[in-house]
A and B are shown apart, each in its own frame.
Chain A
Amino acid sequence: MSQSVLTTRIREAAARGKKALIPFLPGGFPDKERFFTELDMLDAGGADIIEIGVPFSDPVADGPTVEQASLDCLINGTCLSWILYELAKRKGRYRAALVLMGYYNPFLQYGLDKLGEDMSDAGVSGCIVPDLPLEESGPLRQALVAHGVDVICLVGLNTPIERMKAYAKTARGFVYFVSVLGTTGVRESLPEKIKSRLADVRKVFDLPVALGFGIKTPQQLAQFGDLIDAAVFGSALIDHIRAGGDSASFMARWA
Chain B
Amino acid sequence: MKKSYFGEFGGQFVPELLMPPLLEIEEAMEKIIPTKAFQAELAALLADYVGRPSPLYLCPNLSKRLGVNLWLKREDLNHTGAHKINNTMGQGLLTKYMGKSVLLAETGAGQHGVATATAAAMLGLQCTVYMGAEDVRRQSHNVRRMHLLGAQVVPVQSGTKTLKDAINAALRVWIADQETTHYCFGTAAGPHPFPTLVRLFQSVISREAKAQFQEKIGKLPDYVVACVGGGSNAIGMFHEFVPHPGVKLIGVEAAGTGQPGCYHSAPLSLGRPGVLHGAVSMLLQTEDGQIMPSHSIAPGLDYPGVGPEHAHLQKTGRARYDTVNDTGALRAFSALCREEGIIPALESCHAVAWVLEHAHELPPGCHVAVCLSGRGDKDLGIIEEYLEKGGTL
Is A131's CB under 8 angstroms from B17's CB? no
Is B13's CB under 8 angstroms from A58's CB? no
In B1-46, the 8 Å CB interface with A consists of 2, 4, 11-17, 19-20
Is A159's CB under 8 angstroms from B16's CB? yes
**B91 interfacial contact with A, CB 8 Å:** no
- Whether A135 touches B4, Cβ cut-off 8 Å, given contacts A81-B288, A106-B290, is yes
Is B15's CB under 8 angstroms from A163's CB? no
A-side contacts of B176, CB under 8 Å = 180-183
Beyond contacts A131-B275, A131-B278, A156-B17: 9 other A-B pairs, Cβ-Cβ < 8 A, are A64-B158, A105-B275, A105-B285, A135-B4, A156-B16, A159-B19, A159-B20, A178-B15, A183-B172
Is A135's CB under 8 angstroms from B168's CB? no
From residue A106, how far is it (CB to closest CB) to chain B in Å?
4
A-side contacts of B13, CB under 8 Å = 104, 131-133, 136
The 6 lowest CB-CB distance pairs between A and B, nearest first, are A109-B289, A106-B289, A105-B289, A79-B288, A182-B176, A105-B275
Contact with B along A169-202 (1 / 0, CB 8 A): 0000000001011110000000000000000000
- Whether A131 touches B288, Cβ cut-off 8 Å, given contacts A64-B158, A105-B276, A181-B176, is no
**A57 interfacial contact with B, CB 8 Å:** yes
Is B11's CB under 8 angstroms from A135's CB? yes
- Selected from A59, A109, A181, A183, the residue in CB contact (under 8 A) with B285 is A109
From residue A163, how far is it (CB to closest CB) to chain B in Å?
7
A-side contacts of B171, CB under 8 Å = 60
Is A71's CB under 8 angstroms from B15's CB? no
In B273-325, the 8 Å CB interface with A consists of 274-278, 280, 283, 285, 287-291
**B175 interfacial contact with A, CB 8 Å:** yes
Residue of A nearest to B283 (CB): A105
B-side contacts of A109, CB under 8 Å = 274, 285, 287-289
**B142 interfacial contact with A, CB 8 Å:** no
Is A155's CB under 8 angstroms from B159's CB? no
Contact with B along A113-132 (1 / 0, CB 8 A): 00000000000000000111
From residue A157, how far is it (CB to closest CB) to chain B in Å?
8
Task: Please count how many residues in chain B sit with their CB below 8 Å of the partner chain's CB atoms.
Answer: 34
CB within 8 Å of A: which residues of B?
2, 4, 11-17, 19-20, 158-159, 164-165, 168, 171-172, 175-176, 178, 274-278, 280, 283, 285, 287-291
Number of chain A interface residues as a range: 35 or more
What would 20 A/B residue contacts be, using CB atoms closer than 8 Å?
Answer: A57-B159, A57-B290, A58-B168, A60-B14, A67-B158, A104-B275, A108-B274, A108-B289, A109-B274, A109-B287, A131-B278, A135-B19, A136-B11, A136-B13, A178-B15, A178-B17, A181-B17, A181-B175, A182-B176, A183-B175
A-side contacts of B274, CB under 8 Å = 105, 108-109
A148 to B276 CA separation, bound complex (whole angstroms): 28
A80 to B287 CA separation, bound complex (whole angstroms): 11
B-side contacts of A182, CB under 8 Å = 172, 175-176
From residue B25, how far is it (CB to closest CB) to chain A in Å?
14
A-side contacts of B280, CB under 8 Å = 108
B-side contacts of A156, CB under 8 Å = 16-17
B-side contacts of A181, CB under 8 Å = 17, 175-176, 178
- Selected from B16, B159, B168, B175, the residue in CB contact (under 8 A) with A133 is B16
From residue B24, how far is it (CB to closest CB) to chain A in Å?
10
A133 to B15 CA separation, bound complex (whole angstroms): 6
B-side contacts of A159, CB under 8 Å = 16-17, 19-20
- Inter-chain contact total with CB atoms closer than 8 Å: 115
**A224 interfacial contact with B, CB 8 Å:** no
A69 to B5 CA separation, bound complex (whole angstroms): 33
A178 to B290 CA separation, bound complex (whole angstroms): 25
Most buried by A among B4, B12, B17, B274: B17
**A255 interfacial contact with B, CB 8 Å:** no
Residue of B nearest to A67 (CB): B158
A71 to B178 CA separation, bound complex (whole angstroms): 27
B-side contacts of A108, CB under 8 Å = 274-275, 280, 289
Most buried by A among B16, B165, B172, B175: B16
**A110 interfacial contact with B, CB 8 Å:** yes
Residue of B nearest to A184 (CB): B172
A-side contacts of B15, CB under 8 Å = 60-61, 130-131, 133, 154, 178
Residue of B nearest to A62 (CB): B172
Is B175's CB under 8 angstroms from A58's CB? no
- Selected from A74, A81, A131, A132, the residue in CB contact (under 8 A) with B290 is A74
**A158 interfacial contact with B, CB 8 Å:** yes
A74 to B277 CA separation, bound complex (whole angstroms): 19
Is B291's CB under 8 angstroms from A163's CB? no
From residue A234, how far is it (CB to closest CB) to chain B in Å?
15
Residue of A nearest to B275 (CB): A105
A86 to B303 CA separation, bound complex (whole angstroms): 34
**A56 interfacial contact with B, CB 8 Å:** yes
A135 to B192 CA separation, bound complex (whole angstroms): 11
Is A110's CB under 8 angstroms from B289's CB? yes
A-side contacts of B168, CB under 8 Å = 58-60
A-side contacts of B172, CB under 8 Å = 60-61, 63, 182-183
Residue of B nearest to A181 (CB): B176
A104 to B285 CA separation, bound complex (whole angstroms): 13
B-side contacts of A56, CB under 8 Å = 289-290
A-side contacts of B158, CB under 8 Å = 64, 67-68, 71
- Whether A158 touches B14, Cβ cut-off 8 Å, given contacts A105-B289, A108-B275, is no
B-side contacts of A163, CB under 8 Å = 16, 19
Is A106's CB under 8 angstroms from B288's CB? yes
Residue of A nearest to B293 (CB): A57
Is B12's CB under 8 angstroms from A136's CB? yes
